[in-house]
Amino acid sequence: MIKNYWDNPIADKNLENGWLQTNDIGYLDSDENLFLVGRNDDVINIGGEKVIPSEIEEIIKQMPEIEDVVAFGVNNKIFGKTIKVNIIKKKNSNLDKTKILSYCLKNLEKFKIPSKIEFVEKIPKNEYGKVKRSMQK
């Protein structure tokens, strides 16, 4: 690990006790393999419950009529945030919001169930193919 960045004291703020603070969320399995599951700044706080959006996306993507999905937090007066999902359906799909909600009720914890579902044509992504959550509405 580096001791500091060359000629960049602002970047040095990410170095803490010999560790680089990347803001990534991950875990080590029993074989000490590292798995990255999200970013700390993507976590949605719903009334004190912490939700990683990729957990919701992985479940919803299991539906055969879903091409792509992104989950993100939207403001809520009571809970602080709730979950909204933007979904791209596969072509010629007759999937509706009721089917998605029913699937979520069966497969997600109650606080992880989206309060809003919207069908979209495109999900904004960066040049590396990662979702731009900040551009979701």
Report pLDDT for 26: 77
Q: 15-42, pLDDT tens digit by residue?
A: 777 676 776 777 888 988 888 776 667 7
Q: Which of 61, 67, 79, 83 shows the shortest CA–CA distance to 133?
A: 83
Question: How many other C-beta atoms are found inside a 10 Å radius of the C-beta of residue 108?
Answer: 17
Domain chopping of the chain, boundaries: 1-40, 43-125
What residues contact residue 60 under an 8 Å CB cut-off, 6+ apart?
A: 66, 69, 71, 85, 87, 100, 103, 104
Q: Is the pTM of this model over 0.85?
A: no
Q: pLDDT tens, 58-90?
A: 999 999 999 999 999 999 999 999 999 999 999
**Three-class DSSP category at 62:** coil
Q: Please give the class, per CATH, of domain 1-40.
A: mainly beta
The architecture in CATH of the region 43-125 reads 2-Layer Sandwich (3.30)
